[in-house]
Amino acid sequence: MRTDVGTQPGSLPAPAMAAWLTMAYRGSQAVIAATKLNVPDALGKGPRTSAEVAQATGTRPDAMHRLLRALAAFDVVRDLGDGRFELTAIGDSLRADAPNSVRPMALMYGSDSSWEACGQLAECVRTGETAYRILHGVDNLFPYLDKDPEQARIFDAGQSASAALVGAVAAQAYDFSGGRRVVDVGGGRGTVLASILKAHPGLRGTLLDLPRVAQGAAAHFASEGLADRATAVGGDMFAGVPAGGDIYLLSHVIHDWGEEDSIKILRSCRRVMPADARLLILDRVMPERVEPSLEVQVKVVQDITMMIAHGTARERTAREFEALLDAAGLRLVRILPTPAPVSLVEAAPA
């Protein structure tokens, strides 16, 4: 067992690093607090002093100075050394009006229900139960959201922001030019499908989700000027999915389910896929062997999040995806990495 310093430049001695990891969540809280207080928006027009930011956000100048100093350490803002602070590219992404703003994601992960659920991780590992079963007596996150409209609103906004980022990545990472119709299974509000259709004008799209969700997707397609190219269908992906597609898309769907349910969803797609169709799974792909890196940290944190919220839901390795596809009558074609911490798993009928 090693107790010397780490191998990365600037790393701490091992005991100090262990201690830091136990409190690193407070750095996340600083970013979330700044987002809730609209600090990125206050800095959106250029550098300001901490007193000016405090005045704009209705906060105390000394406390705001300390918060800005903390944000500077995480490269969210830049300390200019003359009493002023300015946004970095990271901080700019937290502005409410920024293109592809991640502000809704910060508010989602910083919500009271999310923080409370994460505090139950040890009990989730000990019992195998989800945090929402332990805390609220419901199976997972979704029935909890059904009972709390405000938390559901925060969650939906966060998911939509995430989908916008993922959709833009997917539209560029895969060659959709040979396709005619994309069927987006479990496509939510249609953010990902809309991004793909806008990037590929020759494509048409069909989205399947629960009836109440599909209504929102139809409205989203209309607002994006896609009503003539995209339709939203209410239904149950376990029972069946629309025919007529040559590309079937599952964006952040499979990771929501355990093995048995994942295979059912894949089989629903397989039943209507012609021989030359393709299935795309847009999800994180876990490494077979974990080595420390920022990319892997993002993936394992999301895997832990799925365990907390949904129990058997998980991020999977390439081998695990291949096993699911094989059980559903599909074969793995390839896995395409993207600039984001997600990959496109391409499959075809076996």
345 near 321, Cβ under 8 Å?
yes
pLDDT confidence tier of residue 10, bands split at 50, 70 and 90: low
Name residue 17's amino acid.
M
34 near 65, Cβ under 8 Å?
no
pLDDT digits (tens, 9 = 90+) for 241-268: 999 999 999 999 999 999 999 999 999 9
230 near 207, Cβ under 8 Å?
yes
Return the CATH number of the domain spanning residue range 14-96: 1.10.10.10
pLDDT digits (tens, 9 = 90+) for 74-126: 999 999 999 999 999 999 999 999 988 999 999 999 999 999 999 999 999 99
The domain segmentation of the chain, as residue ranges, is: 14-96, 109-349
Could you tell me the pTM of the whole model? 0.87
Query: Is pLDDT above 50 for 180?
Result: yes
In the three-class reduction of DSSP (H, G, I as helix; E, B as strand; rest coil), residue 330 is classed as strand
Report d(CA 205, CA 195) in Å as an integer: 11
Nearest-5° Cα angle at 167, 184 to 300: 100
Task: Indicate if 252 belongs to the active site.
Answer: no
| CB-CB neighbours of 165 under 10 Å | 19
Helix 318-327 / helix 259-272 crossing angle, nearest 10 deg: 60
pLDDT digits (tens, 9 = 90+) for 34-52: 999 999 999 999 999 999 9
Return the CATH number of the domain spanning residue range 109-349: 3.40.50.150
Query: Is pLDDT above 80 for 342?
Result: yes
Name the active-site residue from 220, 252, 255, 310. 255
Do the strands 330-337 and 247-251 form a parallel or antiparallel pair, or are they unpaired?
unpaired
Report d(CA 128, CA 258) in Å as an integer: 13
Mean pLDDT of the chain: 92
Three state DSSP letters for 93-147: CCCCCCCCCCHHHHHHHCCHHHHHHHCCHHHHHHHCCCHHHHHHCCCCHHHHHHH
105 near 158, Cβ under 8 Å?
yes
pLDDT confidence tier of residue 163, bands split at 50, 70 and 90: confident
